[in-house]
Structure 1
């Protein structure tokens, strides 16, 4: 091999300005020059151009390793060129490189490989219908042209140059510049010789020639453990699933099934003795034991999508396709889901399409322009959360998010997505003052693009993953959130009932002596209880930011606080709607939730805390065992007031009915701290009744007042019911009666 100077470049080499563009990292079309090419429009000999800044010598080898020709270093920064005179058409080759220290190595030239994406990929992305784009974009270990390596692909339509960088190329963006695929803005490259575990980012020269901060892969499936920020080559999760029976059973109408959700923040549910976070495997084993014993039907995880700031609890995600590496690999997460299914426990994950953080390695200004977000801050920036808002009207962005939803449900067998902050998506003026928002084309406040995005996502989920659910956290009176798209709704399966949560917690916070003046706060939810398919949420949002714990919201002395909490949970489990309870609330956590430490499990040594836990366990057993408490959760014919207006006594009584109506359940809540003897009220049938559950039971830390033995109903009509019973109502308690 010989060196030349910049002034003696052969006529067969690329023009000087093209070489300079490669050396400066400004070449947006590297495949035009690098690699093997014909001269004279295919009539002349073959030439090879290589950029290898760490080499002093480069030699071309044939596929069998035989030396073909040395290349000439035509620029001291590492540009090599050579003519292969005896070759008239391209052939398979490798490169042997050596440095001045005598070290040599062989590699496959990334610029000898053809495209990895197809025309259909370009078409579907341009149309916004590439619903499984995660199979094509991102980083995927593969064999290409008989060579093992990794394909990289991403969307950056306004970039001038995109390169994949990592330790494998000394983070030098000049060395693995990617191929641009037409007008769709797709970039791709096959990098031979690297595989799973390799860390990488993208180096992008933006629309105006600026070098952007290194970017994580938007469709990366794995990431470094925060605070590190690089993506990790991994590909789709590889797990052999054993939950076929579980998945098949999801086809039932889940509105008629018992759904009792235990909401969990994985980093702080339980920790090790040294306050270290547990792994997916450890968490899975312990959750199966605990949740199974407690009788919850589902766990719901606060977002497990990769996020840089732990204090966001996952609600500011960067990796919409990557389970957080804090607890293990994607396979570890998949195994946890599989094991939960094997134990009969469903899995819901919080999914955040409403906004994303401004971290430099994330989606903001991804190609030097407002690509994923709106450029106008009146549309594209959340002041409350200091986050950016997706441009839902851009087909590719909506497609990216829909594909993320599909990914979690299909590839990880997740049973449902709880979609965060839907209200902030629906309204253009959400948390904005006059003049701080842009009306829609009709002058209204509705975000028409977000509406279509949500509808499209729910329809896509239903088509691609039958049996999976979508649940909206939506806090307004937007009509038809859980109605089918075909009927003008948004297409969710369920909606969180934030109004019920707010009103009933407000009622419970009052001293019982004042509750008679707030009686409607407990009853108003029944005015609209069947307008949507509701989940009753007592979530993490109610135990942070100075709101205190669930126990701390209750009035009175210590005994009354626990009694109020148990009575409230009894009212909730009797009330129409699916149930959700945040971790720790099931045993009366005393402090606000702290995401940096474990729950206070030692409290279970106290009989009051253990009593609340036992009561929630038994509530779940009753709820699951009595069809009347869940089959008609979403139908008005499943509920009937006995007496909803007894504000003088602070008493609420109602009946729940199952599908056949033959075994009703009567629920009575006495929200006053007094025992009410011989309290008579109507019941839907005569005969013998029994007390199935009583929140004042001594096993739960209560006073033990109740109704042991048979309760005989008289044929005396009352409260519009054909019969009536007389019972003892315990203080600050909820009881459940069932007919024998």
Structure 2
């Protein structure tokens, strides 16, 4: 290109240069090489070779800092540097417009097709050595932008100084900025489709962000950590449906706090949490979302950084260290992941390039009025690719073992929480979100094929096949939360025992569909917040009955078909509703009643994990058989849990506040049976009533079983028996 004319110079200094590489840097100027540089902070600019030898003084061709020179004896571009002066201050720098692109045609093709399954390796900010020079390569998708610039302290937040190269076709913008290293703060300044300069945007693929209330991205690259969890990752993995899975759900900022109510870091919490979870016998920790989010009271469910661990607790490397430590302790890690919606904060994805890019333009498709958030356009290749890559990133790069996918029901239905006229039917006239269904199926297939990780759906409707394989017309999740079981059983246990006979079906109805999906039984954070009180607070009666009811209910839960999930604090009967701004009330463990509940949960986990009958056929109807599910008059439930080649387990739950002596229960085999768990044991805070640890099944056939035994059923208690083999 010849020397820029006045109009072009004005475009440079006004930040309206949509194709900077067509003007800046070196270009053929007839038979010579022309060089144009924008250096608004320099009074003089000298071109040097890479060793610093001066080659030419540049001419200022615009008073606001456009410089130009011509190399008449040069026939092709060559490496160079810039020596700048402003008064007594001098500095050397590389010109970003001398470097070629980092992205290739394959990247463009795959991103446009929505099939770049390792998107994080190309988009975002990547420290690297490019053409022999260290710096950072930036790349972002903004197809409708007129200009995209990277800004930060390094360029005085001046969007004129580092406009990105526009790559036509896929709508990508990229720039290698020499000399820029890890830790630099940056955002994107975007001139939108209308020509307006948008509010500064965080990088959608940033790997680290500033702590709230600050919102900038930080140059870091994909997570870097010297992992030591190879044995954990390479361990033989069985079928998760037949494994014991007992999940401790944690909000990291309020599980335990330090002196002065300070929030513990990833590094500080890791050994404490690992020791506690191991001591309690849980198999997994599930974290409420730890991706970056601007609004703490959202608990992470309104994420901005889909590839960035929240900086509230430390760096991405600290986050990795926590995962590594938990794996070293033999604990699986599940993280909540939120592809259902995103916040409308101006620094986020909302109208990212001045158009509805990640979201739908029509609020009937693109806005959640319940959460005041935006809905992803799952039908857009690049958006579904972005989300799918996020899932793969957490599982592959961050070593998370499973993702619990939030609010799946809101994704599946176009009329979710909408009145007639507030939604648009699909192409067949139905209410299903066909694009979201395709996205979920594709994401689950990619997760299974590329990571070996699990996915768990929070799905509250009867949508068919949520946890069935995609090739069987399912959505492909490994598990689904059993919200129906949770609602029904909590309603039952909240009833005064005198009324429970009229609500007996609340406890038994779940067995009609218990094997239609691979279920997790969730007593989650949602049940102990927003005025719902604590789990203990839901229990009726006087103080003794409240604790006894809770012990019996937890016994029912741990023996019922389905994997287990319990929100933190419920394992020691926290009486106060959960508050995300406060630590759990650990001082309650000085009270023997609360310590007894904790001991009970610890022992339930031990029994559950050590007896295959309680977990091996959790998702198979062959693993459950009623002894008597219809004794509403006595508020008693009895059933068998079964497994191939393992002793059966008999469970009897007395949900009445009276002891029942010599209560006959049918059993499948003659001889001695051990009472391996009694929720009324003294060490749990009960009365100590029971059967002395053993019973003998030698009576007549009963309840369709070949033999029976007369049992002492303590009040409000769950018993677990197994043959004494």
Band of TM-score, shorter chain? over 0.9
1:636 equivalent in structure 2: 621
Output the CA distance in 1 between the equivalents of 2:2 and 2:11.
Answer: 17
- Name the structure 1 match of 2:175: 189
Match of 1:152 in 2: 138
| Match of residue 409, structure 1, among 360, 383, 395 | 395
Q: Secondary structure at the match of 1:25?
A: coil
Aligned pairs for 1:412-451 within 5 A? 412-451=398-437
1:6 corresponds to which residue? none
Q: How does 1:547-696 map to 2 (within 5 A)?
A: 547-660=532-645, 662-696=646-680
Q: For residue 484 of structure 1, what is the aligned residue in structure 2? A: 469
Partner of 2:526: 541
Aligned to 1:132: 118
Q: Distance in 2 between matches of 1:15 and 1:55?
A: 20
2:507 is aligned to 522
What per-residue deviation string (whole Å, max 9, x for no partner) do you get for residues 49-93 of structure 1?
Answer: 110111001000011210000101111111111112232221110
User: What does the per-residue CA deviation read over 1:223-264, in whole Å, with 9 as the maximum and x for residues that have no partner?
Assistant: 011111000000011112222222223631010000000000
Alignment-derived partner of residue 532 in structure 1: 517
Which among 480, 485, 490 is matched to residue 505 of structure 1? Answer: 490
Is 1:83 equivalent to 2:70 in the alignment?
A: yes
Structure 1 segment 214-613 matched on structure 2, within 5 A: 214-249=200-235, 251-466=237-452, 468-613=453-598
- 1: CA distance, partners of 2:670 / 2:192: 77
Residue in 2 aligned with 1:33? 23
How many Å separate the matches in 2 of 1:374 and 1:454? 18
8 Å CA contact 2:699, 2:709 repeated in 1: no
SS at match of 1:657: strand
Q: Using the alignment, how far apart are the partners of 1:528 and 1:246 within structure 2?
A: 34
Q: Which of 142, 155, 162 is the equivalent residue of 2:128?
A: 142
Matched, 1:699 2:683: yes
Match of 2:6 among 9, 12, 16: 16
Query: What's the C-alpha RMSD, in Å, of the aligned pairs?
Result: 0.8
Tell me, in whole angstroms, the C-alpha distance in 2 between the residues paired with 1:647 and 1:710.
27
Residue equivalent to 2:34: 47
1-structure distance, mates of 2:440, 2:680: 44
How much does 1:692 deviate?
Answer: 0.3
Distance 1:361 1:708 in 2: 65
Q: Deviation digits for residues 616-672 of structure 1, max 9, x if unmatched?
A: 000000000001000000000000000000000000000001122x40011111001
Task: Report 1:196-215 matches (<5 A).
Answer: 196-215=182-201
C-alpha separation in 2, matches of 1:531 and 1:504: 18
Shift, 1:14, TM fit:
1.1
Give distance in 2, aligned partners of 1:324 and 1:215: 17
Alignment of 1:716 onto 2:716: no
In 2: Cα distance, 1:232 partner to 1:659 partner = 53
Which SS does the other structure have where 2:254 is aligned? coil
TM-score (norm 1): 0.97
| Secondary structure at 1:87 match in 2 | coil
User: SS of the residue aligned with 1:412?
Assistant: coil
The Cα offsets for residues 565-595 of structure 1, whole Å up to 9 and x where unpaired, read as 1100000000000000000010001111000
| Equivalent pair of 2:2/2:28 in contact (CA under 8 Å) | no
Query: Can you give the 5+ residue segments of structure 2 that lack an aligned partner in the other structure?
Result: none
In 2, Cα distance between the equivalents of 1:97 and 1:684? 90
Match of 2:104? Answer: 118
Cα-to-partner distance string for 1:431-461 (whole Å, 9 max, x where unaligned): 0000000000011000000000000000010
User: Are the aligned partners of 2:309 and 2:316 in contact in 1 as well (CA < 8 Å)?
Assistant: yes
Q: How many residues align?
A: 724
Match of 2:53 among 66, 69, 86: 66
Deviation of 1:535 (Å): 0.1
CA distance in 2, matches of 1:390, 1:281: 34
Q: Secondary structure at the match of 1:202?
A: strand
1:394-450 Cα shifts (integer Å, max 9, x gaps) = 000000000000000000111100000000000000000000000000110000000
Residues 551 and 679, structure 2, Cα contact 8 Å, conserved in 1: yes
Out of 153, 161, 185, which is 1:167 matched to?
A: 153
CA distance in 1, matches of 2:669, 2:196: 78
Query: SS at the partner of 1:268?
Result: helix
Question: What secondary structure, in the 3-state scheme, does the structure 2 residue paired with 1:48 have?
Answer: strand
C-alpha distance in 1 between matches for 2:549 and 2:302: 35
Secondary structure, counterpart of 2:442 in structure 1: helix
